[in-house]
């Protein structure tokens, strides 16, 4: 591991003052006003099952992929499902028509042409180590670096380490993803499920409600 020397507080403050911050915009104005997503940081989108967090994440990925390179890692849906549901969302096509084979040839052609606009890379890596390997390969071989990674979702990944405690393993996965974001100066967004009894009496979800 690289030996990082301690930095004097004065020097750290000087570096921070000189640094220009460039928040990443998601394309959702209200969300961008509430959150300042910065390269090197990790954010969590958490909700109970069926609340639409995956749909929201796919739209954020598409918005970002319109101007930067995005990795969308899904362990829940196949690449066919992710790609078609994403394009249906942005083109306002009912996804049920896809699985019923009801798309017209014109719609298929428009979908294919429209999809070329977005630099969204779909992947199905099981561990943070696999994900990092391909981020590093991309950044070493291309002038276009990865700007954002979306993981759908956190609890479906594996740490790669043998552990009998799933809660500890998920914590390890979270830490590793955060380190990847810092190391490659990219925005990391991980989706997480909330336990079904997390929100009672209208209370706002808290960190301990993560499933």
pLDDT tens column, 51-67:
888 988 998 999 889 88
pTM of the model: 0.85
What span, in angstroms and rounded, lies between the C-alpha atoms of 118 and 93? 18
What span, in angstroms and rounded, lies between the C-alpha atoms of 59 and 159? 27
Number of Cβ within a 10 Å radius of residue 74: 22
What span, in angstroms and rounded, lies between the C-alpha atoms of 31 and 41? 16
What pLDDT does 51 receive?
Answer: 84
Cβ atoms of 143 and 3 within 8 Å: the answer is no
Number of Cβ within a 10 Å radius of residue 210: 19
Specify the range with the lowest mean pLDDT, choosing from 17-21, 81-85, 157-161, 173-177.
17-21
Cβ atoms of 56 and 47 within 8 Å: the answer is no
């Amino acid at each position: 591991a690289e030996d990082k020397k301690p930095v004097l507080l004065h020097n750290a403050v000087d570096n921070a003052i000189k640094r220009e911050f460039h928040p990443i915009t998601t394309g959702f104005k209200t969300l961008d006003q509430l959150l300042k997503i910065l390269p090197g940081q990790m954010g969590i989108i958490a909700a109970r099952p069926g609340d639409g967090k995956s749909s929201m994440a796919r739209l954020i990925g598409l918005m970002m992929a319109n101007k930067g390179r995005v990795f969308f890692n899904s362990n829940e849906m196949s690449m066919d499902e992710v790609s078609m549901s994403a394009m249906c969302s942005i083109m306002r096509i009912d996804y049920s028509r896809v699985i019923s084979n009801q798309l017209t040839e014109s719609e298929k052609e428009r979908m294919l042409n429209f999809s070329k606009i977005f630099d969204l890379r779909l992947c199905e890596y099981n561990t943070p180590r696999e994900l990092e390997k391909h981020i590093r390969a991309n950044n070493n071989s291309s002038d276009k670096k990865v700007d954002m990674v979306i993981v759908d979702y956190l609890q479906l990944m594996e740490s790669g380490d043998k552990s009998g405690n799933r809660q500890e393993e998920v914590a390890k996965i979270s830490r590793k993803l955060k380190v990847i974001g810092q190391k490659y100066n990219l925005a990391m967004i991980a989706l997480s499920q909330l336990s079904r009894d997390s929100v009672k009496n209208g209370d706002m979800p808290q960190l301990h409600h993560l499933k």
